[in-house]
Structure 1
């Protein structure tokens, strides 16, 4: 009987984890450049002194779906989207290099170029600082050109180039802060001149809300089934004890 209860408990635990992942994806359905997480579990036998008595569910490290989102036109000069593969390098609060596909940028009061989370966008020499200007243009290779304040209409000056990288996605890990980083022991990827961006566009999340909502209902029903199985195991155990008590 304990085996029946143990298997039901293990299944309920896995369903609870999968539901948490699915809800996290739904919460970020409107987050630009978000990559949905995938719940991944596998069966592991419980090792016994004589033989493997039963199996239980083991959760793997979070898997990430790196498929692309759709591109939305905004017409804003500081909105950029990666065309194809690649990432924009930004600086996390702890100073480490992280990667994002969210390109809704802005310039803070100190002239530092930042993403929507307030993280500094990195160039070849660190965070990018934009001088006072009349206009700003971002090229397809990430080069930022400005027309300095008070200059003529054709006086464009290159300020910096956004650090665009294209690492192997298998080496990327998402931390508790939701930021993508190179995995443990992995060096920061070099800038990739082949990564291209388009301006006046933003990439949407790759979460399919219809599928996620359907999945939420499916997982809820699976969890309810596992709970009912545990209740049935408890009732069977009580009946078994009652029969044993008859003399």
Structure 2
């Protein structure tokens, strides 16, 4: 009965945290390029002498869904979507992190940004010279039409990388990073579609079903907790008798 309480209470806590994971996914249903978080539970032994038979449920909410979101056409030159696997690289705390969001902007100094973060190219953060027209190729090459000229000129290329979903997680800013902290290698096979944006890959139905299942799990855990309490009380009566 003592061993059961460890499992029941930790499982109830895991259900609560898992609910938070799914609630965050639902909150980002319309966030462009958002990758759903996956809640993974593992068994963890309780440390200390005499606790070998006691195990707890541990939530690991640091996996990222690799599914693709729905792509929609915008017609905007600075909107690009990745076709298949791949990630855009952005500057983060002196290094780099990654995102699927391709709704780029150009600030007053010509810096290419996404959600306020500098976008990385072959030589670091991309800064564009003055232009009258801009295009982004399928390989990430950025070309501009300088004022007073008639021909497009390539100026930089987006840093496009690829990583296995099982090797990726998210940092505190919600950006995708490698689980081991290393930078992902550039992958020249990643292709883009200009004038399009990718939506979130969150499935509203899937998240709601998962939430209902967690509610049922919590109810079962509370029944088990009551059963453990009844067993403890029965043991106490036997000892008193």
Q: Same fold (TM over 0.5)?
A: yes
Equivalent pairs counted in the alignment come to: 241
Counterpart in 1 of 2:132? 134
Match among 163, 175, 189 for residue 179 of structure 1: 175
Kindly state the Cα deviation for residue 245 of structure 1 after the two structures are TM-superposed: 5.1
* Corresponding residue of 1:25: 25
Cα distance, 1:43 vs. partner?
2.6
1:146-178 C-alpha deviation (Å, 9 max, x unpaired): 1122x14x2322221111112344433321221
Is the 8 Å Cα contact of residues 118 and 126 (structure 2) preserved in structure 1?
yes
1:67-82 equivalences under 5 Å are: 67-82=67-82
Of 172, 185, 205, the residue aligned with 2:200 is: 205
Tell whether 2:228 aligns with 1:233. yes
Shift of 1:185: 5.8
- Distance (Å, rounded) in 2 between the aligned partners of 1:31 and 1:185: 25
Does the 8 Å CA contact 1:33/1:100 hold for their aligned counterparts? yes
Is the 8 Å Cα contact of residues 47 and 53 (structure 1) preserved in structure 2?
no
3-state SS in 1 of match to 2:219: helix
Using the TM superposition, give the Cα deviation of residue 84 of structure 1 relative to its aligned residue in structure 2, in angstroms: 1.6
In the TM superposition, residue 237 of structure 1 has moved relative to its aligned partner by 3.7
1:192 aligned to 187, 192, 197, which one? 187
Q: Gaps (5+ residues) in structure 1?
A: none
- The corresponding residue for 2:43 is 43
Paired with 1:210 and 1:82, the residues of 2 have a C-alpha distance of 25
TM-score w.r.t. length of structure 2? 0.88
Structure 1 residues 13 and 78: alpha-carbon distance in aligned structure 2, compared to 1, 3 A threshold: same
Q: TM-score, normalized by length of structure 1? A: 0.86
Distance 2:222 2:165 in 1: 37
Q: Does 1:217 align with 2:212?
A: yes
> What SS does structure 1 have at the residue aligned with 2:209?
helix
1:163 maps to what in 2? 159
- Paired with 2:145 and 2:42, the residues of 1 have a C-alpha distance of 57
Instruction: Describe the superposition over 1:70-102 as per-residue Cα deviations: whole angstroms up to 9, x where unpaired.
Output: 21111111110011221111111x121111111
Name the residue aligned to 1:99: 98
- Structure 2: how far apart are the matches of 1:58 and 1:237? 25
Return 5+ residue gaps in structure 2 as ranges: none
1:54 corresponds to: 54
